[in-house]
Chains A and B, each alone.
Chain A
Amino acid sequence: MSDNLIEIHDLSFAYGKRLVLKGIDLTARRGQVIAIMGISGGGKTTLLRLIGGSLKPTSGVLKVDGVDMSGLDRDALYQLRRRMGMLFQFGALFTDMSVFDNVAFPLREHSDLPEEMVRDLVLMKLNAVGLRGAHDLMPSELSGGMARRVALARAIALEPSLILYDEPFAGLDPISLGVTGNLIRRLTDTLGVTSIVVTHDIQESLRMVDYVYFVSEGVIAAQGTPDELRASTEPFVHQFVHGEENGPVPFHYPAPPYADELELAA
């Protein structure tokens, strides 16, 4: 068994003629938390979707758990996805089901376990995210942070070897944000899974991840451990880590000269 759960080599992806990702190289070892960071619209989520198999690479190699993703048919992809969990940006809980039924959903769909065992497993997963007491609530009764934790319990229901997180920190208050960050770290360590976190929350990420890839304009612009990135003098990393307005990433969207647009005579 290879030590790398994800191996990406020279991967490119295009929506029609528009090249979104080019020449991406990335590896993730078992038991690691990897962050994929970058500005919005830079191709982070596309990369996550490629790893999850929702999109197929235009060229290059993408292997998850030793399986080449580009040649997979639907059945093989679904087999592989049973070993993956994904946390969507706002949880994507099924709104017509209770918290309990949401977490039980993958168990009921993919196993013939008796209902008592499903119940025990669901309560264990909910306990792991601290929401065992909320199992009777409906998703509409949960706060944003709670919904994401329930979704996390659902994502780990089938004991996956890979968990994908799409912007897990977006829109959370500082307490929920810290709780979610710690939870990702703890679950990765206790379950021995690999976690891929797409985020732009730099401070939280640098606190809990093992390795960071910066994606900008479709390429890996920088990479390294949190310590390496904090010490980096590269302009893009520096601007991102310190949240500066100006740098390689401009504040202004490309526009004609300001004076021309306001029709001011020179």
Chain B
Amino acid sequence: MNGLLDSLRGIGARVIDSIWRMGVATRFFLMILLQSGQSFRRFHLIIREIYSAGVLSLIIILVSGLFVGMVLGLQGYETLQTYGSEEALGVLVALSLVRELGPVVAALLFASRAGSAITAEIGLMKATEQLAAMEMMAVDPVARVVAPRFWGAVISMPILAALFSAMGILGGYLVGVVLIGVDEGAFWSQMQAAVDFREDVLNGVLKSVVFGVAVTAIALFEGYDAPPTAEGVSRATTRTVVTSSLAILALDFILTAFMFRGV
């Protein structure tokens, strides 16, 4: 009987704990938005973060985009050839990338490259009392440290996703047209005819903005909330990658369900 009560109590405590944490995270997110004015007035702070979150992620995004596109070219050609419609390769590559793979894979890479770096940096700043020192100097760390990182990453994300897609299309072109010999005119013209700017491109951009907000908010919160120890920071970094990857995939399903309903 006691064992049952204890386990019920344990479950209850865990539920209350997670709801509490979600409340804290939401309040933290609102604080970031409230404190963003200062970041935009001192835009050089955001530029610095665009460099560390965006520019430094370029290599992994560009190389991955190229390879994903090349694989799409190979696989797509194999399948399309069966139906004699290999000229549609451009459409397949472009739509897969712009609608799905660009935003999703770029966001997953971004979470593991930039998200983990943000969590570790903020967590270590907390562990070494840099955030507390800022507070004692009457400087709000959310306004000075957190908000610029948030906007820097959120601005970088759609640009990285767009570059990922562009490199992917280039990869598909290299494999499909240059290597295998699909007709170049058909490759590009079918792509141009089939890809709709609003339906496909803008929706893709919208997705990547949502993913950017989710990944960055998770990364910043995990860092800010991390226990100020080596183990605490390492766990928080892992949690950032796991939680934001799951969030990206779940959000992708929801967004896709709303955006592309087969109409």
Contacts and interface: CB of A to CB of B under 8 A. Distances in A.
A89 B137 CA distance: 16
Interface in B108-144: 125, 128-130, 132-133, 135-140, 144
Contacts of B130: 92-95
Nearest to B48: A96
A110 B128 contact: no
A110 B138 contact: yes
B136 A86 contact: yes
A2 B129 CA distance: 33
Interface of A: 52, 54, 77-79, 81-82, 84-86, 88-90, 92-95, 105-106, 109-110, 151, 154, 158, 164
Contacts of A86: 133, 136
A109 B136 contact: no
Interface in B138-177: 138-140, 144
Given A92-B130, A92-B133, A93-B130, 4 more contacts: A78-B140, A84-B136, A90-B129, A109-B144
A88 B135 contact: no
A79 B136 contact: no
B85 to A, nearest CB: 54
Contact of B129 (A81, A89, A105, A109): A89
Contacts of B128: 90, 92, 95
A174 to B, nearest CB: 25
Nearest to B128: A92
A106 B139 contact: yes
A81 B144 contact: no
Interface residues of B, number: 13
Contacts of A94: 125, 130, 133
Nearest to B144: A109
A158 to B, nearest CB: 8
A234 to B, nearest CB: 34
A78 B138 contact: yes
Contact of B137 (A54, A90, A105, A164): A105
Contact of A92 (B132, B139, B144): B132
Nearest to A89: B129
Nearest to A94: B130
Contacts of B132: 54, 88, 92
A74 to B, nearest CB: 8
28 contacts: A52-B136, A54-B132, A54-B135, A54-B136, A77-B138, A78-B138, A78-B140, A81-B136, A81-B137, A81-B138, A86-B133, A88-B133, A89-B129, A90-B129, A92-B128, A92-B130, A93-B130, A94-B133, A95-B125, A95-B128, A105-B137, A106-B137, A109-B138, A109-B139, A110-B137, A110-B138, A110-B139, A164-B136
A242 B48 CA distance: 53
Nearest to B145: A94
Contacts of A106: 137, 139
Contacts of A158: 137
B88 to A, nearest CB: 50
B48 to A, nearest CB: 9
Contacts of B133: 86, 88, 92, 94, 151
B208 to A, nearest CB: 28
Give the one of B125, B132, B137, B144 with max A CB within 10 A: B137
Contacts of A110: 137-139
Contacts of A105: 137, 139
B129 A92 contact: yes
A78 B141 CA distance: 12
A66 to B, nearest CB: 18
A154 B136 CA distance: 11
Nearest to B139: A109
Contacts of B139: 105-106, 109-110
B84 to A, nearest CB: 58
A22 B137 CA distance: 28
B38 to A, nearest CB: 10
B224 to A, nearest CB: 16
A82 B136 contact: no
The 6 A-B residue pairs with the shortest CB-CB distance in the complex, in nearest-first order? A92-B133, A92-B129, A78-B138, A81-B138, A86-B136, A88-B129
Contacts of B125: 94-95
A79 B129 contact: no
